[in-house]
Structure 1
Amino acid sequence: MLDERSRMFISVSHAQADKWKGEGSANRDHVDFGFRTDFDRFNSINGTILYNRAINQNISTFNLADLAKNGYYYDYSTSFIGHVPPSPGKAGNDPTQANADTFYKLTQNPFQNIIASAVGKFRVGENTDLKIIPYFWYGFGTGGTQQRLQTESAFLNKATGKNTAGVDLNGDGDTLDKVIVASSNVTRTNRPGITASLSHNVGNHQILAGFWVERAVHEQFGPMVAVDANGNPNDIWMREGRILRPDGTPFENRDWKTISTAYQFFAQDTISMMEDKLSVNLGLRAPTMKRDFTNYANESAPVTYNIKRTYSELLPQLGARYQIDYNNSIFASLARNMKAPPNFVYASLPVTNGVATLPIDVKAETSYNLDVGYRLQSDKLTAQATVYAVNFQNRQATAYDPSTNTVSLANVGKVKTHGFEVELGNTPINGWSFYSSLGYAKSEIQDNLVVSSTATLPTAGKEMTLTPNWKAGLSAQYETGVWYTRMTAKYTSSQQATMTNDELVPSYTLLGFDAGYQFPNTTYLKKPTLRLNVSNLTNEKYRNPSSFNVSNALPYGTAAAKGVFYYLGAPRFMSVTLSADF
């Protein structure tokens, strides 16, 4: 029985929708549970547990040639190409087909995760407070398309370190065939962590100090399961019925385990001056990321090896805010940030005498972020204008090292970005409210990109990918006590799809409409509300690149062209929802 200081909630939902093109659907089950206990106004504990289980069907991505050939609404094949009849003693190969023609039932990506966290706030002194936040994140799921044509004689022989072992996949008594199976990139992650901080007020100083630590275990596999005559995989989760090698171990297209131990110490002092008109913030963070990566012998990298790297930086920050009057203020901040290289930089490394070496010892990416702005907050209007600049050092991207003749993720130089953002809105006047935003960004790559021993791409001076120069938004809403209507418009200007700026993504504008009505409360239902939402009102066709680090769409000397693949925008969509509290 909960007393008056405690409360809890639980929320359960199910959602499903058909794909807007092609066969298949998305299904999601979601549970939220939370509680809170307030011992007094300074001491409290609250916690939440989230469970999510989803089975999503991929929507295909295509390059411009595919789009020109197949059209905007083309998707994965709705018929399975099938298995050939077994032919004992003879090579019998299942048909091959392009990735775009993969059977849609072999493009499912199930995923489930659990997130648990708690927040404890405690008054430990007259001017001192302690906050502790432990958390745990678990996830398991698959990615990519599953359809794979597997050669029966290309399984790993651990004794020789070569893919020469044979497995009879179709039951014809030989290992001479190529058979369609389902294989997927499976990931299992456990991430426990905790953040603790202590704040203390003394004079005009508010001092905050603390630490964060996390130990993430990230396991990435590439198993296979059989596919029946109708194209159904044995298990879409890739957990049951895995295809085994002759030695009894499962086939793995990859088999990685990464232990990432991260910790960070931080401290800041917020100083209030000039009768609270001026507030200055001085801070320092010291993050460390330790990667412990193990590649277990698999069909793509047949040698077991381990590699460890540590990345750490000192990251200062400085901020200030000046309150001109009750409604107007100006602010500025300067901060240094860090990004550690992803774990796949350690995959498929050259191994000599059992020792793996990084062809390029990728450094942590760092950046300086500067923001300067003005803010208005009055009874009728809210507005903000900000100018910013970001300077990247050791920008991470795919590159070639001529000294080792290898391609990997590398630091390719500096990237500079600057721009501004403006927002303007009002509180409702006679039921009407408006909001508008405008943003400009200019991003420039500073260096050319070496992609082979004989080719350097002309990227210096070019715009960074996925950085549209202009973005704008506008909304108009009318509301009463029980209902509202709203129109929205969002504009995205053209953007570059490659680092050489040789393929342009066109601009697009999306219009939307939504409305809602709140019914009177009933005996059991509180705030029953009916909502209507219509997205992409004008049925705009648009696309966005699926990757930000495609180097070039056209050939440059000996540098071959790279394919740019796109996510296509969904057409007009209408939904109606009914919700209520009880």
Structure 2
Amino acid sequence: MKVFEKKILTLSVLSILLSGTVSAEESTVHVGTVSVQGQALGGGLMVQEDTPKARSVVTADALEKNPGAGNALDKIKNVPGLQLSSNDSSGISGLAYTMRGMSADQIGLSADGVPLNDSGNYAVYPNLLGDSENIGQVFVTQGSSEADGPHIGSSGGNIGLSTKRPDKDAGLFVEQKFGSNSLRKSFARIETGKIGNFSAWLSASNTEADKWRGFGSLESTRIESSMFYQADNGNTSNLIIKYNKQNNYQYNNVTKANYDAAENAAGTTGHRADYDDPRYKNALNPFENLNISFTQTLLLSDTVSASIQPYYYWGNGGGSGGTSNLSRSSSRSGIYDLSNLAGTTAFYRPSMTATWRPGVTAKVKWDINEQHSLSAGYWYERARQRQTQPYITTNNVTGPADRWADSNQFTDANGKIVQGRNQFTTTPAQRVWIQDTWFVSPQVTLSGGLAWESVKRQGENRGSLSTVASQKEAKYNELLPNFSAKYQINQNHQVFYNISRNMRTPQNYVLYNSGDSLSLDPELSLNNELGWRYQTEKMLLSATLFNMGYKNRQISSQDASNDSIMINAGKVNSRGLELEWGGNFAKNFNYYLSYSYIDTEQKNNVTSRGVELPTKGKEIPNTSKNLLTASVGYDDNMWSWNFKGNYTGPFYGDMTNDEKIAGRTTFDFSAGVNLPVDKKFIKEAKLSFGVNNIFDKEYLDIARTIQINSKTTGVATGSAPAYAIGEERTFVISLSAKM
């Protein structure tokens, strides 16, 4: 792996010498299929918006003013509709979120047009997000995926990250953070500045921290680079490379009953405990990944432009929650001879996943006349994913012999590597779309489009302790129309309406589960939005009513034999209101407020272990009806501060709504000062301080393991959901400088 890291570093350095950027004077930032223009208000948490759909944008200014070490999603968690939880404030541990009742694996996530959701189960991992210091903008479309979105698992909305463009001036940016739980983050970025038509940057970072509860540590090393070239004729080339390697220990999720019992015990803080020693030594999560994308834009004429973007993702690693026992009777499939086991033996058994994911997106835009602009495109990806569970020699003193599971793998009496899971999935996917925007008048704009998406799942089960070798495949095709309308009442007021159909292909579990999981239809949603915006130079206000219905909801369940199956849980409806208000007061003060009311309803009962469970009419788990964030800040270009309060209402941890988690209110504070410097050597320097959860609120956070039923019904035994624990009060100090 050290050799691989050297190759990545060499590639990054060479790429800096071969590329450049568009001039920094350009005021339009391209994010997906739309452009955002205008002044950022509310501390950078809102911008003037013309998109005819619900959409929130967080600027680099807001990301930079947040001194925490969190990733880009940690720093946008207060936008309307989004309910997000992270294991800690390091930015490199686990996270989970919902949006309008949809979970993270139903919401598209992309960076610079490249998909980040796992190709198999659509999960989202912090290691894929990169350093937030290199993010230029984050946008959230709460209900609709982009027409050209490269997603096969997005029945909900979409979150997009845009990497910052290289600066026009050469320089060096360095930053050092220190914080609670031995947090240390070192970050450096060097800018080449404009060299003719070229410019680029290269960054490196290292983050280390102790887990805030339990034993173990967290570590991540990143190397990232962006290179831009703009020819004299306006054509541009952009190469982005992001590499990450982490060595983390896992957090243990807890049940509500265990949390309450520990909290009520006199004189103890056990409700914030974690894996004990020595179990934690086998609760590991190593991972390594590389993202490369190259975007070429071409101005073919005054009215026609095109772009092509090939990309490649590679990742390898996995996690374990502790040791697993292996005995002679463990081979239920009969394909292993375990006679060489003397008795029951404990092994480190991580769920390892290796992914190879090449893809390409091609687009063309034709401004036919002053009234019509036509765009079309094609996206293709062929993801391959190998998922294994080898048994690695370990002990409770030093942990596993190889945390990466490359060596010390246990073999049976015939020399076969024993696997608890051994699957290889190939997922070819493609999307074709066409979109027409009609400028009916200076006040009225209509847009309509149609996409066709086709996905094939090809699964090769290579045999494991519980299954014999087999092959399965399934194919899914859908037409996905969309329509939107915007009416600009006057300079300040606009209203919009949007309706779109979104698709989520069944997860790759359907290829390997018991039963007839292959018969599942894709999850399909219909999103309706009606919104109003009021925009001035000093204040932005938006209000959106939404109604989203989706069918063929896909969940994991169990059959009468207790084997895992994927089932169709029927229909769900999510409706509500989202408000966002931001602006600037006199004398350098700013404010921001977001509020969401989300009412969800399951329309069908769900069957588990042959028993029909009462889920009809119940709310979706992990979704609070009321979310509120309010902040006030100050910034005079020398001093800045921000005080924020966040209320998250009660929510359920199971589909039958048997277990309810109380709501909570937390407060955060941050401040910064620009230090006096000698401009000859240091252009600017800043000292920042932040504290999260000021009053050390203790609470259970989002459910990480959702159950269908918490209470036993017939032979359907109830299972307790497992929750993350809200992080204690933490602080961070940051010192940065530009040279």
> 2 CA distance for matches of 1:247 and 1:406?
29
> 1 CA distance for matches of 2:254 and 2:736?
38
Q: How far is the alpha carbon of 1:469 from its aligned partner?
A: 0.2
Cross-structure match for 1:354? none
> 1 CA distance for matches of 2:585 and 2:223?
35
Cross-structure match for 1:165? 337
Structure 1 position 323 matched with structure 2 position 488: yes
Q: Please show how residues 193-208 of structure 1 align to structure 2 within 5 Å.
A: 193-203=359-369, 204-208=371-375
2:643 to 487, 491, 495: 487
> 2 CA distance for matches of 1:394 and 1:348?
18
Does the Cα contact within 8 Å between 2:303 and 2:367 map onto a contact in 1? Answer: yes
Alpha-carbon deviations, 1:369-426, whole Å to 9, x = none?
A: 0111001110121000000011011111234678x99651111211011001011111
Does the Cα contact within 8 Å between 1:153 and 1:164 map onto a contact in 2? Answer: no
> 2 CA distance for matches of 1:150 and 1:387?
54
Q: How far is the alpha carbon of 1:69 from its aligned partner?
A: 3.9
Does the Cα contact within 8 Å between 2:705 and 2:723 map onto a contact in 1? Answer: no
Cross-structure match for 1:518? 674
1:126 to 269, 286, 302: 302
Q: Please show how residues 288-303 of structure 1 align to structure 2 within 5 Å.
A: 288-301=454-467, 303=468
Q: Please show how residues 432-447 of structure 1 align to structure 2 within 5 Å.
A: 432-447=589-604
Alpha-carbon deviations, 1:532-577, whole Å to 9, x = none?
A: 1101111111113434741111112232111211100110000111
Structure 1 position 390 matched with structure 2 position 566: no
Cross-structure match for 1:448? 605
Alpha-carbon deviations, 1:235-270, whole Å to 9, x = none?
A: 111112211122222111000000001100011000
Does the Cα contact within 8 Å between 1:167 and 1:245 map onto a contact in 2? Answer: yes
Structure 1 position 184 matched with structure 2 position 350: yes
Pick the structure with greater CA Rg: 1
Q: Runs of 5+ in structure 2 lacking a partner? A: 1-16, 19-194, 263-269
SS at match of 1:105: helix
Cross-structure match for 2:46? none
SS at match of 2:392: strand
Q: How far is the alpha carbon of 1:41 from its aligned partner?
A: 6.1
Whichever residue aligns with residue 205 of structure 1, its letter is: H
Of 537-546 and 467-476, deviating more is: 537-546
SS at match of 1:72: helix
Cross-structure match for 1:90? none
Whichever residue aligns with residue 200 of structure 2, its letter is: M
Whichever residue aligns with residue 318 of structure 1, its letter is: F
Cross-structure match for 1:367? 525
> 1 CA distance for matches of 2:694 and 2:591?
19
Of 44-53 and 556-565, deviating more is: 556-565
Report the structure, 1 or 2, having the larger strand content.
1
Q: Please show how residues 471-550 of structure 1 align to structure 2 within 5 Å.
A: 471-522=627-678, 523-547=680-704, 549-550=706-707
Does the Cα contact within 8 Å between 1:536 and 1:573 map onto a contact in 2? Answer: yes
With over 3 angstroms needed to count, the CA separation of the structure-2 counterparts of 1:229 and 1:20, relative to structure 1, is closer
Does the Cα contact within 8 Å between 2:513 and 2:566 map onto a contact in 1? Answer: no
Cross-structure match for 1:427? 584
Does the Cα contact within 8 Å between 2:654 and 2:706 map onto a contact in 1? Answer: yes
Q: How far is the alpha carbon of 1:167 from its aligned partner?
A: 5.4
Cross-structure match for 2:450? 284
Whichever residue aligns with residue 458 of structure 1, its letter is: P
Structure 1 position 40 matched with structure 2 position 232: yes
> 2 CA distance for matches of 1:459 and 1:348?
23
Cross-structure match for 2:22? none
Cross-structure match for 2:378? 211
2:572 to 409, 415, 429: 415
> 2 CA distance for matches of 1:462 and 1:217?
38
Structure 1 position 551 matched with structure 2 position 716: no
> 2 CA distance for matches of 1:548 and 1:495?
14
User: TM-score scaled by structure 2?
Assistant: 0.70
With over 3 angstroms needed to count, the CA separation of the structure-2 counterparts of 1:571 and 1:547, relative to structure 1, is closer
Whichever residue aligns with residue 312 of structure 1, its letter is: N
Cross-structure match for 2:133? none
Cross-structure match for 1:18? 210
Structure 1 position 222 matched with structure 2 position 394: no
Does the Cα contact within 8 Å between 2:673 and 2:686 map onto a contact in 1? Answer: yes
With over 3 angstroms needed to count, the CA separation of the structure-2 counterparts of 1:68 and 1:426, relative to structure 1, is closer
Choose between structure 1 and 2 for higher RCO, CA contacts under 8 A separated by at least 6 residues. Answer: 2
Alpha-carbon deviations, 1:198-257, whole Å to 9, x = none?
A: 000012111000100000001100011111462421011111221112222211100000
Q: Identity across aligned pairs (percent)?
A: 28
> 2 CA distance for matches of 1:255 and 1:151?
19
1:379 to 537, 554, 562: 537
Q: Which structure 1 residue ranges, 4+ long, deviate > 6 Å from structure 2?
A: none
Whichever residue aligns with residue 189 of structure 1, its letter is: T
Q: How far is the alpha carbon of 1:164 from its aligned partner?
A: 5.9
Cross-structure match for 1:76? 275
Structure 1 position 334 matched with structure 2 position 490: no
> 1 CA distance for matches of 2:295 and 2:682?
30
SS at match of 1:344: helix
With over 3 angstroms needed to count, the CA separation of the structure-2 counterparts of 1:407 and 1:51, relative to structure 1, is closer
Whichever residue aligns with residue 107 of structure 1, its letter is: A
Report the structure, 1 or 2, having the larger helix content.
2
Alpha-carbon deviations, 1:416-464, whole Å to 9, x = none?
A: 11001011111242111111111100000111112233x2111111111
Does the Cα contact within 8 Å between 2:649 and 2:664 map onto a contact in 1? Answer: yes
Does the Cα contact within 8 Å between 2:552 and 2:568 map onto a contact in 1? Answer: yes
SS at match of 1:429: coil
With over 3 angstroms needed to count, the CA separation of the structure-2 counterparts of 1:405 and 1:510, relative to structure 1, is closer
> 1 CA distance for matches of 2:454 and 2:518?
20
> 1 CA distance for matches of 2:681 and 2:471?
60
With over 3 angstroms needed to count, the CA separation of the structure-2 counterparts of 1:464 and 1:421, relative to structure 1, is same
Alpha-carbon deviations, 1:23-79, whole Å to 9, x = none?
A: 111101111111101103631111110011111111111112322344312211113
1:567 to 720, 724, 727: 724
Cross-structure match for 2:286? 110
Whichever residue aligns with residue 569 of structure 1, its letter is: G
> 2 CA distance for matches of 1:304 and 1:500?
36
SS at match of 2:526: strand
> 1 CA distance for matches of 2:331 and 2:433?
49
Whichever residue aligns with residue 292 of structure 2, its letter is: A
With over 3 angstroms needed to count, the CA separation of the structure-2 counterparts of 1:235 and 1:405, relative to structure 1, is closer
Structure 1 position 8 matched with structure 2 position 200: yes
SS at match of 1:66: helix
> 2 CA distance for matches of 1:327 and 1:167?
78
> 1 CA distance for matches of 2:592 and 2:314?
39
Note the aligned Cα RMSD (angstroms): 1.9
With over 3 angstroms needed to count, the CA separation of the structure-2 counterparts of 1:270 and 1:521, relative to structure 1, is farther
Whichever residue aligns with residue 290 of structure 1, its letter is: K
User: TM-score scaled by structure 1?
Assistant: 0.89
With over 3 angstroms needed to count, the CA separation of the structure-2 counterparts of 1:415 and 1:65, relative to structure 1, is same
Structure 1 position 50 matched with structure 2 position 226: no
SS at match of 1:467: coil
> 2 CA distance for matches of 1:407 and 1:349?
6
Structure 1 position 136 matched with structure 2 position 312: yes
